[in-house]
Amino acid sequence: MTTAQQSALNLMPLPASAQPGTGSLRVDSTFSLVFTGYTEPRLERAGERFLRQLARQTGLPLSFKPAKMAKATLVIQTDHASKEIQEVGEDESYILDVSRTTARLRASTPLGTMHGLQTLLQLVDVTPDGFAAPAVTIQDTPRFPWRGLMIDSARHFIPLEVIRRNLDGMEAVKMNVFHWHISDNQGFRAESKKLPKLTGLGSDGHYHSQEEIRDLIAYARDRGIRVVPEFDMPGHSSSWFVGYPDIASTPGPFKIDDEWGVMDPAMDPTNEKTYKFLDTFIGEMARLFPDHYFHIGGDEVNGKAWDANPKIQEFKKVHNYKTNEELQAYFSQRVQRLVNKHGKAAIGWDEIFVPGAPKDIVIHSWRGTQALAAAAKQGYRGILSNGYYIDLMWSAARHYAVDPLGGAAADLTPEQKQLVLGGEATMWSEYVNWENMDGRIWPRTAAIAERYWSPESVTDANSMYARLDIISQRLEWLGLTHRTQPRKMLHRIAGPATSEEFAALVTLADVLEPVKDYTRGESTSYQAITTTPLNHMVDAVPPESDAGRRFGELVDKFISTSCLDGNTRERLRAQFVVWRDNDAKLQPLAQRSFLAKEATANSQDLSTLGTAGLAALDSIAKGQPAPDAWKAQQLAIIEQAKKPKAQLLLIPADAIQKLIEAASAGGACSSSKPQ
Amino acid sequence: MTTAQQSALNLMPLPASAQPGTGSLRVDSTFSLVFTGYTEPRLERAGERFLRQLARQTGLPLSFKPAKMAKATLVIQTDHASKEIQEVGEDESYILDVSRTTARLRASTPLGTMHGLQTLLQLVDVTPDGFAAPAVTIQDTPRFPWRGLMIDSARHFIPLEVIRRNLDGMEAVKMNVFHWHISDNQGFRAESKKLPKLTGLGSDGHYHSQEEIRDLIAYARDRGIRVVPEFDMPGHSSSWFVGYPDIASTPGPFKIDDEWGVMDPAMDPTNEKTYKFLDTFIGEMARLFPDHYFHIGGDEVNGKAWDANPKIQEFKKVHNYKTNEELQAYFSQRVQRLVNKHGKAAIGWDEIFVPGAPKDIVIHSWRGTQALAAAAKQGYRGILSNGYYIDLMWSAARHYAVDPLGGAAADLTPEQKQLVLGGEATMWSEYVNWENMDGRIWPRTAAIAERYWSPESVTDANSMYARLDIISQRLEWLGLTHRTQPRKMLHRIAGPATSEEFAALVTLADVLEPVKDYTRGESTSYQAITTTPLNHMVDAVPPESDAGRRFGELVDKFISTSCLDGNTRERLRAQFVVWRDNDAKLQPLAQRSFLAKEATANSQDLSTLGTAGLAALDSIAKGQPAPDAWKAQQLAIIEQAKKPKAQLLLIPADAIQKLIEAASAGGACSSSKPQ
pLDDT at B489 (0 to 100): 98
- Residue pair A171/A53 in contact (Cβ under 8 Å)? The answer is no
What confidence tier does A467 reach under pLDDT thresholds 50, 70, 90?
Answer: very high
Q: Other CB atoms closer than 10 Å to residue A77's CB: what's the count?
A: 16
Q: Catalytic: which of B48, B300, B326, B661?
A: B300
> What is the predicted ipTM?
0.94
The Cα–Cα gap between B640 and B624 comes to: 26
Inter-chain touch B126–A592, beta carbons under 8 Å: yes
The Cα–Cα gap between A542 and A393 comes to: 8
Q: What are phi and psi of A261, to 5 degrees?
A: 115, -170
The end-to-end CA distance of chain B, in Å, is 41
pLDDT at B668 (0 to 100): 63
Residue type, B640: Q
Q: Which helix (H) or strand (E) holds B345?
A: strand B345-349
> Residues A323-330: what's their mean pLDDT?
95
- Residue pair A417/A405 in contact (Cβ under 8 Å)? The answer is yes
pLDDT at B526 (0 to 100): 63
**Mean pLDDT across chain B, nearest whole number?**
95
pLDDT at B674 (0 to 100): 44
Q: Between β-strands A381-384 and A362-365, what pairing exists: parallel, antiparallel or unpaired?
A: parallel
Q: How far is B274 from chain A (nearest CA, A)?
A: 33
A498 touches chain B (CB under 8 A): no
The Cα–Cα gap between B591 and B596 comes to: 8
What confidence tier does B259 reach under pLDDT thresholds 50, 70, 90?
Answer: confident
ω into A253 cis (within 30 of 0): yes
The Cα–Cα gap between B551 and B512 comes to: 12
CB-CB neighbors (< 8 A) of A596 in chain B: 126
Side-chain-side CA neighbours of residue B422 (13 Å): 23
Of the partner residues B59, B496, B597, the one whose CB lies closest to the CB of residue A533: B59
The Cα–Cα gap between B487 and B485 comes to: 5
Known catalytic residues of A are 300
Inter-chain touch A495–B125, beta carbons under 8 Å: yes
> Kindly report the CA angle at B238 between B236 and B244, in degrees rounded to 5?
130
The Cα–Cα gap between B245 and B431 comes to: 28
Is residue B168 predicted with pLDDT exceeding 60? yes
Residues of chain B with pLDDT > 90, as a percent, come to 91
Is residue A675 predicted with pLDDT exceeding 50? no
pLDDT digit string, tens, across residues A482-517 = 999 999 999 999 999 999 999 999 999 999 999 999
What confidence tier does A344 reach under pLDDT thresholds 50, 70, 90?
Answer: very high
Cα dihedral: B339, B344, B348, B352 (round 10): 50
Q: How far is B535 from chain A (nearest CA, A)?
A: 5
B211 bridge partner residues: none
Is residue B135 predicted with pLDDT exceeding 70? yes
The end-to-end CA distance of chain A, in Å, is 41
**Mean pLDDT across chain A, nearest whole number?**
95
Q: How far is A453 from chain B (nearest CA, A)?
A: 23
The Cα–Cα gap between B420 and B412 comes to: 10
pLDDT at B670 (0 to 100): 56
Inter-chain touch A491–B469, beta carbons under 8 Å: no
pLDDT at B666 (0 to 100): 61
Chain B, window 526-545: residues with a beta carbon less than 8 angstroms from a chain A beta carbon: 530-535, 539
Q: Which of A82, A90, A78, A94 is nearest to A39 (CA)?
A: A78
pLDDT at A435 (0 to 100): 97
Residues of chain B with pLDDT > 70, as a percent, come to 97
Question: Which of A385-399, B6-20, B502-516, B546-560 is predicted with the least confidence, judged by mean pLDDT?
Answer: B6-20
pLDDT digit string, tens, across residues A507-554 = 999 999 999 999 998 887 667 888 889 999 999 999 999 999 999 999
Of the partner residues A128, A129, A594, the one whose CB lies closest to the CB of residue B127: A594
pLDDT at B675 (0 to 100): 41
Q: Between β-strands A187-188 and B648-650, what pairing exists: parallel, antiparallel or unpaired?
A: unpaired
The Cα–Cα gap between A467 and A446 comes to: 10
Is residue B239 predicted with pLDDT exceeding 50? yes
B588 touches chain A (CB under 8 A): no
What confidence tier does B187 reach under pLDDT thresholds 50, 70, 90?
Answer: very high
> Kindly report the CA angle at A152 between A147 and A156, in degrees rounded to 5?
155
Of the partner residues A473, A591, A595, the one whose CB lies closest to the CB of residue B491: A473
B355 or A414, higher pLDDT: A414
Inter-chain touch B488–A476, beta carbons under 8 Å: yes
* Nearest residue in A to B485, CA atom: A484
- Residue pair B597/B519 in contact (Cβ under 8 Å)? The answer is no
What confidence tier does A5 reach under pLDDT thresholds 50, 70, 90?
Answer: low
Predicted TM-score (pTM) of the model is 0.95
Of the partner residues B59, B125, B594, the one whose CB lies closest to the CB of residue A129: B594
CB-CB neighbors (< 8 A) of A546 in chain B: 499
B95 bridge partner residues: B106, B139
The Cα–Cα gap between A507 and A528 comes to: 30
B567 touches chain A (CB under 8 A): no
Of the partner residues A29, A128, A487, the one whose CB lies closest to the CB of residue B531: A29
Chain A, window 416-475: residues with a beta carbon less than 8 angstroms from a chain B beta carbon: 433, 435, 469-470, 473
pLDDT digit string, tens, across residues B633-652 = 999 999 999 999 999 999 99
Give Cβ neighbours of residue B71 (< 8 Å, ≥ 6 apart). B32
pLDDT digit string, tens, across residues B318-348 = 999 999 999 999 999 999 999 999 999 999 9
pLDDT digit string, tens, across residues A201-242 = 999 999 999 999 999 999 999 999 999 999 999 999 999 999
Give SS3 for B576: helix
List, as one string, the DSSP characters of B351-384.
Answer: GG--TT--TT-EEEESS-HHHHHHHHHTT-EEEE
Residues of chain A with pLDDT > 70, as a percent, come to 97
List, as one string, the DSSP characters of A185-248.
Answer: TTEE-B--SSSTHHHHTTSSS--B-HHHHHHHHHHHHTTT-EEEEEE--SSS-HHHHHH-GGGB
Of the partner residues B60, B125, B593, the one whose CB lies closest to the CB of residue A126: B593
Inter-chain touch A492–B57, beta carbons under 8 Å: yes
Q: How far is A341 from chain B (nearest CA, A)?
A: 41
Is residue A356 predicted with pLDDT exceeding 90? no
Q: How far is B106 from chain A (nearest CA, A)?
A: 28
Inter-chain touch B59–A530, beta carbons under 8 Å: no
A595 touches chain B (CB under 8 A): yes
pLDDT digit string, tens, across residues B62-116 = 988 878 777 899 999 999 999 999 999 999 999 999 999 999 999 999 999 999 9
A29 touches chain B (CB under 8 A): yes
Give SS3 for B417: helix
Q: How far is B473 from chain A (nearest CA, A)?
A: 8
pLDDT digit string, tens, across residues B349-368 = 999 998 888 899 999 999 99
Q: How far is B200 from chain A (nearest CA, A)?
A: 15
Of the partner residues A470, A496, A532, the one whose CB lies closest to the CB of residue B125: A496
* Nearest residue in B to A65, CA atom: B205
CB-CB neighbors (< 8 A) of B29 in chain A: 531, 533
Long-range contacts from B188-195, C-beta under 8 angstroms, 24+ separation: B188/B154, B188/B239, B188/B240, B189/B153, B189/B154, B189/B157, B190/B229, B190/B231, B190/B285, B190/B288, B192/B281, B192/B284, B192/B285, B193/B284, B194/B280, B194/B281, B194/B284, B195/B243, B195/B244, B195/B277, B195/B280, B195/B281, B195/B284
B10 touches chain A (CB under 8 A): yes
pLDDT at A411 (0 to 100): 96
Q: Between β-strands B177-184 and B146-152, what pairing exists: parallel, antiparallel or unpaired?
A: parallel
Q: Which of A673, A136, A145 is nearest to A417 (CA)?
A: A145
List, as one string, the DSSP characters of A292-351.
Answer: SEEE-------SHHHHT-HHHHHHHHHHT--SHHHHHHHHHHHHHHHHHHTT-EEEEEGG
CB-CB neighbors (< 8 A) of B532 in chain A: 61
What b/e readout covers B303-320, taking b as 16+ CB neighbours within 10 angstroms?
A: bbbbeebeebeebbeeee
CB-CB neighbors (< 8 A) of B10 in chain A: 496
* Nearest residue in A to B54, CA atom: A492
A30 touches chain B (CB under 8 A): no
Is residue B671 predicted with pLDDT exceeding 80? no
pLDDT at A531 (0 to 100): 84
